[in-house]
Amino acid sequence: MERVRFHIPGHQGRGLFPSIGISADYLTVDSTEIDGLDDLSAPEGCIADAQHRAARLYGAQHTFFLVQGSTVGIQAALLAAFQPGDTVLVPRNAHRSIIHGMILADLNPVWLMPEYNAHWGTWLGLTAQAVERGITEHPHAKGVILPNPTYDGWVPELAAIGKMCMQHNLKLIADEAHGALFPLHNDFPTSGCQVDGVDIVVQSLHKHAGGITPSAVAHLPKSSAVSPKRFQAALNLLHTSSPPYPLMAAMDNHIGWLNSTNGQHHIAQTLAMVAEWRNSLTLPPHITLCHTPNRDPLSLLLQVTGADPNDWAIWLEDAQGISFEAINPQSALYKVGLGVTPQDLTRFTQALQALGEKDFSTGPLSGHFSPHALPIPHIACSPRHAFFNRSEVVSAQHAVGRVAQHTIAPCPPGIPLLIPGEVIQPGHASFLPDTIAVCETTTEPL
Ligand SMILES: Cc1ncc(COP(=O)(O)O)c(C=O)c1O
């Protein structure tokens, strides 16, 4: 049975824009920084022109092509925006790329705990109130880094947080790995590109936007306090000196298509098609699709009351060919990209009807890995200090009370279960690998 992919990459395995396949075409375009082909580390020619076209589409002061995903953009953003030793406010459901960027940039995180939604089994977007509390308790903080939206599709109170950051002179970085389409249609939640007070926005084109893995872009919005030169210098510390020309050419084509009448029409049509599909779905009362305004409309959370998503979501995939993006404790996540077709949605409807006739009620949900039920972090030292400190490897049973040296962040969703420098608590024990590196450092909070 052919599988319908409701997961990343969002092209769903179909060509959307004129891209370069792995064929003779690919080899023709695969080149290096010869005359006329510019240099990604100091663009002045065709790469600079392509980045300007992208900046125009996104309404940014400056856009950078990222050939190593949003990961490299987030890490460059932290190096460009802050000084070693700075304190930054970060929600606990931040992606591991942020934690790794903090090791590189030597930042001290203050973890803000977002609200946990027990019904859907996911953390929500960061509220302005949580940021305000963070600023009050840590007046020396220099910035805020947050996902917009979260991996599960929840959006933070970005406009209010932007305003607060301007008032307190804090830098604000928006991780929009899952929000690359947000600035391109009014039915999407607000992007950091559209909000005052945001300094850097990083977006994966290869997620919902239908690009090739791992294409991504970083934008400095018009009001950014970070200079393009500084961002370029930070990026140059991290990205390859042999950038893949086929990927960059595909990114330029992709941006051109997103900006074209065809592309704009395709985005509007995808949104309308998904909205119409949701509205016309008649589901039995025990099956629900999350429907609230503060969500990315292309991230679908599905729930079967009283049943374990590990059972029904895997059945939907194996028996009905409907692939999921991720499984949460109480729901499963389905990502719709620009490659989706009406036939895909019809297949999903039929599969949901078949699901309605099955009985998956299992009583209490069985335990499985979840980054969602984490204890409030007890921090012993900065991620960088832990990473570079002397360490030893101990068995999981001897790890409680010790300090983690590395990130443990199973993917998806790539949200750390343990952060370098965090004290391992009894609540972590069931998720730990058999052995773990712990630092020889004090467990007293700094
Ligand atoms: C919230 C979030 N931020 C950042 C990233 C990193 O993006 P990329 O895979 O493009 O490097 C991911 C990847 O899944 C993510 O989910």
The amino acid at 254: H
pLDDT number for residue 28:
80
Question: Of 142-156, 162-176, 431-445, which range is least confident?
Answer: 431-445
Ligand 1 atom closest to residue 207's alpha carbon, by position in its atom list: 10
**pTM for the full model?**
0.94
Mean pLDDT of all residues in 216-242: 97
**pLDDT band at residue 373, thresholds of 50, 70 and 90?**
low
**pLDDT band at residue 441, thresholds of 50, 70 and 90?**
low
Ligand 1 atom closest to residue 74's alpha carbon, by position in its atom list: 4
Burial tier of 6 (Cβ tally within 10 Å: 0-12, 13-18, 19+): buried
Between the CA of 70 and the centroid of ligand 1 the distance, in Å, is 6
pLDDT number for residue 444:
44
Between the CA of 199 and the centroid of ligand 1 the distance, in Å, is 19
pLDDT at 316 exceeding the cut of 90: yes
**CA 109 – CA 144 distance, rounded (Å):** 10
Structure tokens at 104: 């590189």
Do residues 74 and 202 touch, judged by C-beta distance below 8 A? yes
**pLDDT band at residue 23, thresholds of 50, 70 and 90?**
low
Do residues 108 and 382 touch, judged by C-beta distance below 8 A? yes
What is the average pLDDT value for the chain, to the nearest integer?
92
**Ligand 1 atom 9, closest CA:** 69
Question: Tokens 């998503």 belong to which residue?
Answer: 309
Ligand 1 atom closest to residue 68's alpha carbon, by position in its atom list: 11
314-332 burial code (b ≥16 CB/10 A, e <16): ebbbeebebbbbbbbbbbb
* Contacts with 139 (C-beta within 8 Å, 6 or more apart), sequence order: none
Closest CA to 334 of 10, 96, 92, 16: 10
Question: Tokens 């004090």 belong to which residue?
Answer: 442
pLDDT at 314 exceeding the cut of 60: yes
270-304 pLDDT per residue, tens: 999 999 999 999 999 999 999 888 899 999 999 99
Best mutation site among 64, 68, 97, 123 for ligand 1 pocket (most ligand atoms within 8 Å of CB): 97
Between the CA of 397 and the centroid of ligand 1 the distance, in Å, is 31
**CA 208 – CA 414 distance, rounded (Å):** 17
Cis, peptide link before residue 413, omega less than 30° from 0: yes
Between the CA of 134 and the centroid of ligand 1 the distance, in Å, is 24
Report all structural domains of the chain as residue ranges with CATH numbers, in order of start. 4-8+261-356 (3.90.1150.10), 24-259 (3.40.640.10), 374-439 (3.90.100.10)
pLDDT number for residue 7:
86
The amino acid at 397: Q
Structure tokens at 426: 């009894």
Closest CA to 179 of 160, 162, 193, 165: 193
Question: Of 218-227, 341-350, 431-440, which range is least confident?
Answer: 431-440
Between the CA of 204 and the centroid of ligand 1 the distance, in Å, is 7
Closest CA to 298 of 276, 275, 321, 280: 275
Ligand 1 atom closest to residue 8's alpha carbon, by position in its atom list: 14
Between the CA of 359 and the centroid of ligand 1 the distance, in Å, is 35
**pLDDT band at residue 446, thresholds of 50, 70 and 90?**
very low
Between the CA of 175 and the centroid of ligand 1 the distance, in Å, is 8
Residues whose beta carbon lies within 6 Å of some atom of ligand 1: 69-71, 95, 97, 147, 151, 175, 177-178, 204, 214, 216, 414
**Ligand 1 atom 4, closest CA:** 177
Q: What percent of the chain has pLDDT over 70?
A: 94
Mean pLDDT of all residues in 242-269: 95
pLDDT at 443 exceeding the cut of 50: no
Closest CA to 214 of 368, 66, 104, 76: 66
**pLDDT band at residue 49, thresholds of 50, 70 and 90?**
very high
pLDDT at 62 exceeding the cut of 70: yes
**pLDDT band at residue 442, thresholds of 50, 70 and 90?**
low
**CA 81 – CA 79 distance, rounded (Å):** 6
**pLDDT band at residue 362, thresholds of 50, 70 and 90?**
confident
Do residues 90 and 172 touch, judged by C-beta distance below 8 A? no
**Ligand 1 atom 12, closest CA:** 177
Best mutation site among 178, 203, 296, 415 for ligand 1 pocket (most ligand atoms within 8 Å of CB): 178
Mean pLDDT of all residues in 26-54: 92
pLDDT number for residue 21:
60
Beta bridge partners of residue 392, listed in sequence order: 438
**pLDDT band at residue 130, thresholds of 50, 70 and 90?**
very high
The 3-class SS string of the chain reads CCCEECCCCCCCCCCCCCCCCCCHHHHHHCCCCCCCCCCCCCCCCHHHHHHHHHHHHHCEEEEEEECCHHHHHHHHHHHHHCCCCCEEEEECCCCHHHHHHHHHHCCEEEEECCCEECCCCEECCCCHHHHHHHHHHCCCCCEEEEECCCCCCECCCHHHHHHHHHHCCCEEEEEECCCCCHHHCCCCCCCHHHCCCCCEEEEECCCCCCCCCCCEEEEEECCCCCCHHHHHHHHHHHCCCCCCHHHHHHHHHHHHHHHCHHHHHHHHHHHHHHHHHHHHCCCCCCEEECCCCCECCCEEEEEECCECHHHHHHHHHHHHCEECCEECCCCEEEECCCCCCHHHHHHHHHHHHHHHCCCCECCCCCCCCCHHHCCCCCECCCHHHHHHCCEEEEEHHHCCCCEECCCECCCCCCCCCECCCEECCHHHHHHCCCEEEEECCCCCCC
Higher pLDDT, 410 or 253: 253
Mean pLDDT of all residues in 48-64: 98
Mean pLDDT of all residues in 89-102: 95
Question: Of 109-113, 198-202, 378-382, 412-416, which range is least confident?
Answer: 412-416
Strand order in the sheet with 332-335: 287-289, 299-304, 332-335, 326-327
